[in-house]
């Protein structure tokens, strides 16, 4: 397993590299840290976004869920900025949700309830038929475990440093 992890182009190494860089970016502006829950929560959100984004970028556009995650992150950031300008953001999200529901009705499977739940969990799962959904779920599980492992290691590293 060590040999496998030393592969510089493996998912783990790609993700860890990106994630650690994102972590440094997060920590850089805050040299004097306050341990108020609010600050910690803010940092948590950013780290979580960093993890998700790093994972999605490590997978590039090869998978539907990674594209969906990246798209979601981008539009969320855009919608936050546009909130002051009007309802554009909410309209956008509404249209995507309705489009997703139409697809759900078309691909009626025997296991409808669980398939719907799975679609909610896996990003971008609304517009997939059951066959592709299972594919994406398998890859997504693999990437989630990698992500968890690397975030954990990153946490230990940070702990070790302070």
Partner 1 sequence: MEPNARTAETISNLTASDGYEVTAFESLQFTDEIHRLISAPPTDNASSFTALLELPSPQAVELLYSPESSKLIPASPPNVEDFKGNFHFPSNTCLIERDARLSAEVNNSNENEKSKSPESKKLSTNLEKAVKSEPAETESSQPLVSDPTLDKRSIKRKDGENKVKGSTKKSKTAVNESSEDAQKLPYVHVRARRGQATDSHSLAERARREKINARMKLLQELVPGCNKISGTALVLDEIINHVQSLQRKVEFLSMRVAAVNPGIDVNLDSILTSESGSPMDSNFPSLVMPVTWPEVQGNGHRQQYEHQCHFDALQQPVWGRGEVCHNYITPENSLLTYDSSANSATLHANQLKMEL
Comparison of 38 and 106: residue with beta carbon closer to partner 1: 38
Closest by CA position to 104, among listed 120, 89, 82: 120
Alpha-carbon distance of 47 to 151, in angstroms, equals 9
Interface of this chain with partner 1, residues 29 to 68, rule: CB under 8 A: 31, 33-35, 37-38, 40-51, 53, 57
Of 12, 67, 72, 92, the one binding partner 1 (CB under 8 A) is: 12
Is residue 85 a contact residue for partner 1 (CB under 8 A)?
no
Interface of this chain with partner 1, residues 115 to 144, rule: CB under 8 A: 115, 117-118, 121-122, 130-131, 134-135, 137-138, 140-142, 144
For 41, the 3-state DSSP assignment is: helix
Closest by CA position to 107, among listed 124, 138, 122, 128: 128
Of 60, 61, 76, 99, the one binding partner 1 (CB under 8 A) is: 76
154's enclosing H/E stretch is helix 130-161
Comparison of 45 and 99: residue with beta carbon closer to partner 1: 45
Only one of the segments 79-87, 88-96, 98-106 lies at the binding site for partner 1 (rule: CB under 8 A); that segment is 79-87
Is residue 153 a contact residue for partner 1 (CB under 8 A)?
yes
Alpha-carbon distance of 46 to 27, in angstroms, equals 10
C-alpha 26, offset from chain centre: 17
């Amino acid at each position: 397993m060590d040999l496998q992890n030393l592969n510089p182009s493996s998912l783990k190494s790609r993700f860890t590299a990106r994630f650690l860089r994102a972590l440094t970016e997060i920590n850089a502006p805050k040299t004097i840290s306050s341990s108020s829950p609010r600050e910690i929560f803010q940092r948590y959100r950013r780290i979580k976004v960093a993890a998700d984004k790093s994972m999605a970028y490590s997978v590039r556009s090869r998978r539907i869920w990674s594209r969906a995650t990246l798209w979601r992150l981008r539009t969320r950031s855009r919608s936050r900025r546009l909130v002051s300008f009007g309802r554009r953001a909410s309209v956008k999200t509404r249209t995507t949700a309705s489009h997703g529901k139409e697809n759900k009705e078309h691909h009626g499977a025997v296991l409808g309830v669980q398939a719907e739940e799975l679609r909610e969990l896996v990003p971008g799962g609304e517009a997939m038929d059951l066959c592709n959904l299972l594919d994406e779920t398998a890859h997504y599980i693999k990437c989630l475990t990698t992500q968890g492992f690397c975030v954990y290691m990153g946490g230990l590293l940070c702990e070790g440093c302070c």
